[in-house]
Structure 1
Amino acid sequence: MPVSAAPMSDAKTLARQAAYAAHNRKLVQSSATSGSRVSIRQPEMIVREKPQPVQNTEKYQENEINPVKSVAQEAVSTFSIDVDTGSYSNVRRFLNSNGQLPPVDAVRIEELINYFNYDYPLPTGQHPFSVTTETVDSPWKNNAKVIKIGIKAKDIDAKNLPPANLVFLVDVSGSMNDSNKLPLVKTTLRTLTEQLRPQDKVTIITYASGEKLVLEPTSGKEKDKILSVINKLQAQGSTSGERAIRMAYEEAEKSMIKGGINRILIATDGDFNVGITDFNTLKGMVAEKRKTGISFTTLGFGTDNYNEQLMEQLADAGDGNYSYIDNEKEAKKVLQRQLSSTLATVAQDVKIQVEFNPHTVKEYRLIGYENRLLNQEDFNNDQVDAGDIGAGHTVTALYEIIPTGQAGWLNESRYQTAAKSTDANKNAEYAFLNLRYKQPNEKTSILLNQPIKVQSKALSQASTDTQFAIAVASYGQKLQGGKYSANQTWNDIQKLAKQSDQPDPFQIRSEFIDLIGIAKSLSANAKE
């Protein structure tokens, strides 16, 4: 390791050199009297190691922003729903703790929007969720509209959840030794443990240089025993995540509860460096294991070496959900206040397909969901995996559209024009919305659909939930570079968020308004 001499201006160095000089003068004077030879001592060279900069090796999946589509050429849009929220808290960490704007690939707009709860109507019919739509004037482009699709899943009180078989898979490798990693993991697991009931059971597996079963299946009524194991966790060693994941599935299968909640919760920074570390291999393994009926939830922690791509994609492959825990408050949100939605699934493989009407819509773009896109033929194929909805979850999707007759993003076609219709019904719809889902543990999907009418309102007249969702989408688009944000400024976004703010006992929405201000201050041009 390179070293350098201490500067001569260093006070300690000068003092030491002065001491050596005085000592040597005494020896010289003594030798002059006695005639003996003396050995003059030389000052020691003071060396210091140069501080090595911390290398940031965080990993994010690259996602191209959804392009504008021509309805004449591609009228159907298909994607899987997403209830992950990790991107929001990870972006918050960059703004609050790092004092910098997040990497563009860290921003997934659907996860920012779905971080918040919205007051959509509860389901009243046979389906486990309600579906509502609202169309408003777009704040991003003149003469454009924004269609909001809102889904609200039925709620289940945590006390009425089915019995749970939970496996805590805890990374205790050396990379987890930071204060925002294992100590926060322990806080998070304590929070979940406090919610356990006697009918629930917990297994704890740790992994570093090896995997270890540190707690065999234990009833939720034995909280002291569970907490004692959590409190003793210590970080050391390298990280072999693949073998630990296999062991977690094995233990979960041994304790399987038929008709209950069977879920692995992995707490890690995702920095796997021993054994199988290939991303696609790990994702494929989890995708295969989901067939056992055991879901896989990821709880991400830490900075610098954080593998966000792996955390988000493993949760998607394992029919679980992904959360990034950046503080104790977030741990309580995910595993206390939203315990039912985190653990209990009410609908599986939920897909959305929107067919736009060429008589009324010329162009469209889906905002977010870039890594959730499906092929058109995937919609009716029940073998194609899609996202799951937990109890009480709200899911929001936004499309920006250009009505026919209005100037859009694309050049007018010389040869292809939308056919005019004399059918009043066709001219009365912007699009037709189809949804497919499966009941938990069923193999055949259920279809529901409804039209999206040609009716819209000014953004200022929209519901507060729609206004707020659009404010969050605006924030996400701005963080991504503002490709489709036109002249919308940070001040415009903050004003819209404030107008749609609602009383919130946990101050989540007001915190978001503060984050807009921080992002504005860190922007290269705060006036934009």
Structure 2
Amino acid sequence: MNHLVIKILSFSALSWALSGCGQHAVQRDITAYEATTPAGVLMPAPMEASAVRQRMTGQSVARVPVARRAEASVLYENTERYQKNTINPVHRVAEQAVSTFSIDVDTGSYSNVRRYLESNGRLPPVDAVRIEEMINYFDYDYPLPVGQHPFAVHTETVDSPWHKQAKLIKIGIQAKNIASKDLPAANLVFLVDVSGSMSSDDKLPLVKKTLRILTEQLRPQDTVTLITYASGEKLVLAPTSGREKQKILKEINKLQAGGATAGEQAIQMAYQQAQKVFIKDGINRILLATDGDFNVGISDFETLKGIVAEKRKSGISLTTLGYGTGNYNERLMEQLADAGDGNYSYIDSEKEAKRVLQRQLSSTLATVAQDVKIQVEFNPNSVKEYRLVGYENRMLKQEDFNNDQVDAGDIGAGHRVTAIYEIIPVGQKGWLEDSRYQSNNTVTAAQANGQNQEFAFLKLRYKLPQQTQSILMSQPIAASSQPLTSANVDTRFAVAVAAYGQQLRGGQYNGPMGWEQIVQLAQSSVGTDPFGLRQEFVDLAKIAQSLSSQAGKE
């Protein structure tokens, strides 16, 4: 990875810079910063040049005392890291009829991309966009389960707006609800990064706001342990009952940033402390709040991931809460949560902290099903080609589906999971050229409709919490569809979000659907929007549209 180093004004020299003798030097440094920022390249510096200029010109020079001359510049290195994900390919059903993947209930990609569009005024890096996390950020009105299983499965098939001959199969999973008062007792460990890299306003100060929100939700039967780490790890607060909120809040309020980042030993300590007060049949979870910039001790990605994967066998899960810009290691945050049977969220505002920890408290903490895997077998008599939208880093081998030793995603109380397949029915022109020697034309569309009334057969496997043997669910997907305009409002909105994600990744499969059509579809399917999240999405799509237009003009 090539690191980009830029020169910016040091805020430690702000007083000198604003004095009469320093004004010209200030302008020179701003100009140098702007001149070394290539057009169209995101520079996630602590403060953009325009903001630096505003901060400097917004005060009267006469009111600022002359301070000692300090270093006029610092080096800033762009080290944000994302996992490389190649878009899922198109498959011929005649060659590969079965598709298998693990569910994903993370939402961090959506709020991280929002940060790029709103705060940075730039389109996000392609690898920051995970479409399944975009879709699953929103609530959809799926019926609750009524049988013995902890979740219900719903499917709907509509005409695709991306390809004239294609259909979209939407799979929706709705987990049972558990009221907060009925949640089992929780053993929570707050593991907080207080290293020097966490000093900015969008990091440790926002972490403290997040933990205050969660603390206010605690019950007397819940316990909290607070561990911090910088150059070393520290047990700040031994396990403390949720009834002692003021004691917990006092320690949270005292947190300050400084030092290097030694995360590995702190993770080990967090698991040790969680094990000491382990609650059988309860919630045992570590909440790691950091920018992911581990730079002391074991910082190797695979090693850290392996440690967490091994520790999850103890029944203690790991949720990651990501913060900040510039040095943010999103790859580590997302993958640690996956390995730790937890959830990953990116917190870019106090509003997002409330969304994650208040509205989703039960689903974030209480697991109702573990190792949930989906397998779809497409019917070669009715489906010619297919592709899965998103879930690139959740794909499993076909044989993994029946192997209970293979880890997969967990689903919490009240969680909803949505996945979308795009298919080409038999007899229609698809993405792939017909093979000369292995043509799929032996069965006509009319014959297929007469022979079989199914597009596919859907199977799910899951484990109940603390169980080792999986349970199988299955149901057919009927070979019928309806126009997208006739679909329910949730389906139309999910398709708009999927198209938004695809467009941010280059629009390879969006066909004739551009930004204008995405915005129109989203606007027409906002529906009931009690928290304003869908309208916010419409606004984000408009921002992305304007930025794309600007990029096209450069």
Aligned to 1:420: 443
Q: Distance in 2 between matches of 1:53 and 1:113?
A: 38
Q: Rate the CA distance shift 1:329–1:456 in 2: closer, same or farther, 3 A.
A: same
State the TM-score, normalized to the length of structure 1: 0.90
Q: Distance in 1 between matches of 2:23 and 2:510?
A: 61
Aligned to 1:156: 178
Alignment of 1:7-406 (within 5 A): 12=21, 51-52=73-74, 54-406=76-428
Q: 2:534 aligns with which of 494, 509, 515?
A: 509
Query: Can you list the C-alpha shifts for 1:177-200, whole angstroms capped at 9, x where unaligned?
Result: 000000000000000000000000
Q: Distance in 2 between matches of 1:430 and 1:13?
A: 71
Contact 1:340 1:391 in 2 (8 A): yes
Query: Can you list the C-alpha shifts for 1:419-461, whole angstroms capped at 9, x where unaligned?
Result: 5397878521000000000001100000010000011000000
AA matched with 1:362: K
Q: Rate the CA distance shift 1:417–1:179 in 2: closer, same or farther, 3 A.
A: same
Q: Rate the CA distance shift 1:11–1:175 in 2: closer, same or farther, 3 A.
A: closer
**Are 1:469 and 2:494 matched, yes or no?**
yes
AA matched with 2:463: K
Contact 2:7 2:74 in 1 (8 A): no
Contact 1:145 1:402 in 2 (8 A): yes
Q: Secondary structure at the match of 1:180?
A: coil
Q: Rate the CA distance shift 1:13–1:86 in 2: closer, same or farther, 3 A.
A: closer
Shift of 1:489: 1.3
Shift of 1:526: 7.8
Q: Distance in 2 between matches of 1:509 and 1:459?
A: 19
Contact 1:520 1:526 in 2 (8 A): no
**Are 1:452 and 2:477 matched, yes or no?**
yes
Q: 1:488 aligns with which of 488, 513, 516?
A: 513
AA matched with 2:547: L
AA matched with 1:242: E
Q: Distance in 2 between matches of 1:157 and 1:47?
A: 59
Q: Distance in 1 between matches of 2:165 and 2:449?
A: 22
Query: Can you list the C-alpha shifts for 1:233-263, whole angstroms capped at 9, x where unaligned?
Result: 0001000000000000000000100010000
Contact 1:2 1:50 in 2 (8 A): no
* Farther-moved stretch of structure 1 (499-508 vs 453-462): 499-508
Larger Rg: 1 or 2? Answer: 1
Shift of 1:417: 3.2
Shift of 1:503: 2.2
Contact 1:312 1:322 in 2 (8 A): yes
Q: Distance in 2 between matches of 1:198 and 1:47?
A: 54
Q: Distance in 2 between matches of 1:328 and 1:486?
A: 37
Q: Secondary structure at the match of 1:205?
A: strand
Question: Where does the alignment leave 5 or more consecutive residues of structure 1 unmatched?
Answer: 4-9, 16-45
Query: Can you list the C-alpha shifts for 1:333-364, whole angstroms capped at 9, x where unaligned?
Result: 01111100010000000000000011100000
Shift of 1:414: 1.5
Q: Distance in 2 between matches of 1:452 and 1:341?
A: 28
Contact 2:7 2:73 in 1 (8 A): no
Q: Distance in 1 between matches of 2:149 and 2:20?
A: 77
Q: Distance in 1 between matches of 2:379 and 2:531?
A: 41
Aligned to 1:24: none
Q: Distance in 2 between matches of 1:2 and 1:141?
A: 47
Shift of 1:467: 0.5
Q: Distance in 1 between matches of 2:503 and 2:491?
A: 18
AA matched with 2:483: A
Aligned to 1:30: none
Contact 1:266 1:299 in 2 (8 A): yes
Q: Secondary structure at the match of 1:450?
A: strand
Q: Distance in 1 between matches of 2:370 and 2:22?
A: 69
AA matched with 1:407: K
Shift of 1:308: 0.2
Contact 1:110 1:367 in 2 (8 A): yes
Aligned to 1:523: 548
Aligned to 2:56: none
Contact 1:171 1:239 in 2 (8 A): yes
State the TM-score, normalized to the length of structure 2: 0.86
Q: Secondary structure at the match of 1:54?
A: strand
Shift of 1:331: 0.4
Q: Secondary structure at the match of 1:523?
A: helix
Q: Distance in 1 between matches of 2:419 and 2:546?
A: 28
Query: Can you list the C-alpha shifts for 1:278-306, whole angstroms capped at 9, x where unaligned?
Result: 00000000000000000000000000000
Shift of 1:51: 3.2
Q: Distance in 2 between matches of 1:14 and 1:363?
A: 64
Q: Distance in 2 between matches of 1:246 and 1:443?
A: 25
Q: Distance in 1 between matches of 2:211 and 2:73?
A: 35
Aligned to 2:11: none
Q: Distance in 1 between matches of 2:122 and 2:342?
A: 30
Q: Rate the CA distance shift 1:238–1:454 in 2: closer, same or farther, 3 A.
A: same
Shift of 1:506: 1.2
Q: Rate the CA distance shift 1:71–1:185 in 2: closer, same or farther, 3 A.
A: same
Q: Distance in 2 between matches of 1:2 and 1:387?
A: 43
Q: Distance in 1 between matches of 2:153 and 2:7?
A: 63
Computed over aligned residues only, the root mean square deviation of the Cα atoms, in angstroms, reads: 2.2
Q: Secondary structure at the match of 2:76?
A: coil
Contact 2:381 2:448 in 1 (8 A): no
Q: How many residues align?
A: 492
Alignment of 1:432-443 (within 5 A): 432-443=457-468
